[in-house]
A and B are shown apart, each in its own frame.
Chain A
Amino acid sequence: MTIPLLEVQDLQTVFHTEEGAWPAVSDIDIRLEAGEILGLVGESGSGKSVTGFSIFGMIDAPGEVTQGRVLFKGQDLRELSAESMRKLRGDRIAMIFQDPLMTLNPVLRIEEQMLEAIDAHQKLPKAQALQRCVEALAMVGIPAPEKRLRSYPHEFSGGMRQRVAIAIAMLNRPDLIICDEPTTALDVTIQGQILYRMQQICQAQGTALIWITHDLGVIAELADRVAVMYGGRIVETGTVAEVLDAPRHPYTQGLLNSLPAQATPGERLTQINGMAPSLSGRVPGCAFAPRCGRATPRCVDEQPPVTTIPGRAFRCFVPLEAPAA
């Protein structure tokens, strides 16, 4: 059997507070092949960003990865030294964030920031390194890249800044990019442009993506597979078509039904009542049970195990019927 690009097994990350340690994410299993796009979907507080940060090895106190393995090309990233992890980050694995203003240094020209990202991982003659910067900017669709290298982050618009952040992530041709809501703050026409570039780059270079978002529409259009998170666990995973067309977990279905696009205009939307639990307010069983129309007493008390059927998996005692074949 071939080794997948990324295999996350039984990952748990907790946050230490004065009242004790609360698990933000638990029992996370993810498998990603080279060139594959996985959509990680969830609402605020579902643990999707914590999952991304845990894989990237960027969980800081009071957070702590307490359990599990993050196998990247067969090697457990949790066993690497801080130094080896730093070498890997930005080289083989990169990350893009929602707000590029927070990741770009406001007082350095783009050129310096890009050269720095190359320099940290390999020694190239300056002319060659500059050439690579220009190519990366051109690849994400920045007009006049030679000229724009001399610009500062504030001289770019929001959409252009996000392109710069993507270009920096792409500089060393990573195998995996973790994208944490990179288009959420952008207008739809600009989002379309960025998705177009990301899709092209992934196809051309075989880069795998973990695309973290709350927008099911983006996932449907971009991703190969999707993992739906709720209350710190992946509640359902499978190919985009399987999960979105025939959800088995009641939360996935509730989320789809909440979308105005799925409803008849003017009619009440099928809403999920209540709200997402806080870290400290989760029940011992399925976190969705208090809001779930199908919940039984067992759902509240006991954590449902993973049901695996070929190509997909879900955690539910009372799953929705599989569609008739």
Chain B
Amino acid sequence: MTAMTTPVIELRDVHKRFVSAPDLLQKIVGAVARQPAQTRTVHAVNGVNLQIAKGEVLGLVGESGCGKSTLGRVVAGLHPATEGQLLYKGQDVSGLGGQDKLAYTLGVQMVFQDPQASLNPRQKLHQILGEALHVHKLAPAAEVPGRVDAALAEVGLASEYRARLPHQISGGQRQRIGIARALMVTPEFLVCDEPVAALDVSIQAQVINLFMDLRAQRGLTYLFISHDLGVVRHISDKVAIMYLGKIVEMAPTAEIFGQAQHPYTQALLAEVPDVGRRKRVFTPIKGEIPSPLNPPPGCTFHPRCPHAMERCKQEVPRLRETSAGHVTACHLLD
């Protein structure tokens, strides 16, 4: 990769806040108690910078509520960023219009965790797969059935399945349909939000293999969101670890798994159950994930961090390069 190559996706200081204004009841209660109800803000994504090059797979790892899914949705254009820029092939998405906007909308597709919830239960599989082609007039009506069959074949399903309804197929097959639907518009970039989390181990392996085959055949680029470090390690070139709205560490996969620098990454790696370990003596990290409504000051990980210092409670650590190609946000590394 040369320095001239434009990343497929680039985020520049992206924030996403969800604001809930007090409802009427809360306003009345507030007025009566003479304590006006506050607007509550969740800072789901809090200043994220990253670049994903063509053909690359970036694994995004974090626990519940860390903002990884929100970040994925911002990239896919399902949520507009509150602040910051999202660039698709070097162009700011918010300024796009006409053909350029369509190129982004179709070029970035999403695969969801729960295909049951993301497939219309009343549509047959060929309708689900063909819909985008009709809506965007990407293929003449006569060609659609052929394209649908080709898509089914690509994800390993026989064309008999075209007339089935989503509830008539298994969970693993539904996830294949979710992938096939995303591929119908020949995207370049897939945001995969926990695509194998709901699947059994043996089925999970089949779907991971499918993702890897598609990447090789179509040169796809993925943002692969997962809480499962084993899956991320297997499929990703680069891994970003997220905690409470911020990326705390990002590096090539082998670096993250071999030389994790952030105490949170180290704790996560230590906690992942490993079939190679026997009768482990558990020494878990303390505490719970804080509420994003009321994050701790300074480094948000400091209440749980075994190495926390005074400085960690006051000053937010900056994400900076700590070794070649490896960025970490931690005061310990200063």
Contacts and interface: CB of A to CB of B under 8 A. Distances in A.
B201 A216 contact: yes
Contacts of B288: 157, 159-160, 190
A156 to B, nearest CB: 10
A74 interface: no
A261 B230 contact: yes
Interface stretch (B47-55, B79-87, B113-121, B272-280): B272-280
B202 A188 contact: no
B271 A271 contact: no
Interface string B58-92: 00000110000000000000000000000000000
A271 B202 contact: yes
Contacts of B267: 189
B41 interface: no
A179 to B, nearest CB: 15
Given A217-B274, A241-B278, A262-B275, A189 B285 contact: yes
A269 B285 contact: no
B202 A258 contact: yes
Interface of B: 63-64, 170-173, 200-206, 208-209, 212-213, 227, 229-231, 233-235, 253-254, 267-268, 270-286, 288-289, 304
Interface string A241-270: 100100000000011111111110110111
Interface in A156-197: 157-160, 187-193, 195-196
Contact of A221 (B201, B208, B279, B283): B279
Given A269-B208, A269-B234, A187 B276 contact: no
A260 B234 contact: yes
Given A189-B271, A217-B273, A244-B275, A272 B230 contact: no
Contact of B200 (A195, A241, A276): A276
B202 A187 contact: no
A160 B213 CA distance: 41
Residue among A157, A258, A273 with most chain B CB within 10 A: A258
A260 B202 contact: no
Contacts of A157: 288
Majority secondary structure, B binding face: helix
A191 to B, nearest CB: 7
A265 B200 CA distance: 20
A260 B278 CA distance: 18
A187 B227 contact: yes
A221 B284 contact: no
Contacts of B205: 257-260, 269-272
A270 B282 CA distance: 30
A176 to B, nearest CB: 20
A275 B203 contact: yes
Contacts of A199: 281-282
Contacts of A268: 209, 212-213
A44 interface: yes
Contacts of B304: 189
A64 interface: no
Contacts of B200: 43-44, 214, 276
Given A221-B273, A265-B253, A269-B234, A189 B284 contact: yes
A218 interface: yes
A220 interface: yes
Nearest to A239: B278
A99 interface: no
Contacts of A43: 200-203
A255 B201 contact: yes
A240 interface: yes
A283 interface: no
Residue among B201, B233, B279 with most chain A CB within 10 A: B201
Contacts of A259: 201, 205, 230, 275
B275 A216 contact: yes
Nearest to B212: A268
A196 B284 contact: yes
